[in-house]
Amino acid sequence: MNKSMFTASLLVLALSQINAHASDKAVRIATEGASPPWDAIDANGQLVGYDIDVGNELCRRMKVECTFVAQDWDGIIPALTVGKFDAIMSGMAITEKRKKSIAFSQPYGGGFNQLVMRKDLDLPATDTKAKINLTSVGKDQQVILDQVRATVAKKTLGVLRSSNSEAVLNELFGRVATIRSYDTQENLHLDLVAGRIDGGLADYFTWKTFLDSKDGDVAAFYGPELSGGLWGPGVGIGIRKEDADLVSAFNEAIAGSTKDGTLRELSVKWFGIDISPPPAE
């Protein structure tokens, strides 16, 4: 082999190694695309929302190429574990139950859930600004929950299937109300507007997007803001347990984007308030 051929061979080898390395750095992220402002599909068929903006920012900091794919909520964790994609960013709460199947990054956001009920039911007024952390319910908070439980008795309440909200709704009101689970939040909204259900439980910001729409005028927030308990410490990135390096890389990027205020800016953009985690001490 002459010198020029040898040099060309080395160049081809180097390029192939670079391409392989770039391929190793590609991260495929799944999101439901049906829970705005966390994630949604816009009029052009593109995934948009807080999850997508944060994911792109984290990947930029990690110096990796990331792509987002839409995935139905029901099968999102099983699809991750079999390798259909590398991570989940879909407003997913970090919970002990989910941690049995997958690993999580540190939180990149927080929030709370709240009931919504149809206005035409003329229910007794409640303090919708009251806050209850279900991890530790005091005497006064229990009184509020008991009052809401009495009000929703014999009502039909909707919730997203396989969500922590479904578990909480059954835990709090399953003995007195009929619980109807839905494959998507959109289908829940349709039944609420049509009067096929009386209300439901979901993420506050997801509800607010719906209530601010024309169809959402039929309902309003009801009862206290609920957090903690089965919802865990916040929203994190779901990752396979064996991908410890990816967990560490995301954690480092989250810490950096929290410290410099980027997550705060993105949360205000999408939610109107700061839901970013507090900076590490």
Of the two residues 261 and 16, the one the predictor is more confident about is: 261
Confidence of residue 156 (pLDDT cuts 50, 70, 90): very high
The residue ranges of every structural domain in the chain are 3-110+234-271, 113-231
Confidence of residue 33 (pLDDT cuts 50, 70, 90): very high
Please give the CATH number for the structural domain made up of 3-110+234-271: 3.40.190.10
Q: Taking residues 252-256, what's their average pLDDT? A: 98
Is the distance from CB of 250 to CB of 237 less than 8 angstroms? yes
Q: Taking residues 87-115, what's their average pLDDT? A: 94
CATH topology identical between 3-110+234-271 and 113-231: yes
Confidence of residue 281 (pLDDT cuts 50, 70, 90): low
User: Is pLDDT of 23 > 60?
Assistant: no
Q: Taking residues 26-33, what's their average pLDDT? A: 96
Q: Which two tokens stand for residue 210?
A: 């719906």
- Residue-wise pLDDT for 190-217, tens only, equals 999 999 999 999 999 899 999 999 999 9
Q: How far is CA 143 from CA 21, 121, 137, 173, 227, in A?
A: 59, 22, 10, 14, 17
What local confidence, expressed as pLDDT, does residue 16 receive? 38
Q: What is the edge-to-edge ordering of all strands in the sheet holding 178-182?
A: 131-133, 219-227, 113-118, 199-203, 156-160, 178-182
Q: Is 190 helix (H, G, I), strand (E, B) or coil?
A: helix
pTM beyond 0.85: the answer is: no
User: Is pLDDT of 183 > 50?
Assistant: yes
> Class for domain 113-231, per CATH?
alpha beta
Mean residue pLDDT of the chain comes to: 90
Which of these ranges, 19-28, 99-108, 142-151, 175-184, has the smallest mean pLDDT? 19-28
Residues 55, 56, 61, 65, CA torsion sign? positive
Confidence of residue 24 (pLDDT cuts 50, 70, 90): low
Of the two residues 221 and 16, the one the predictor is more confident about is: 221
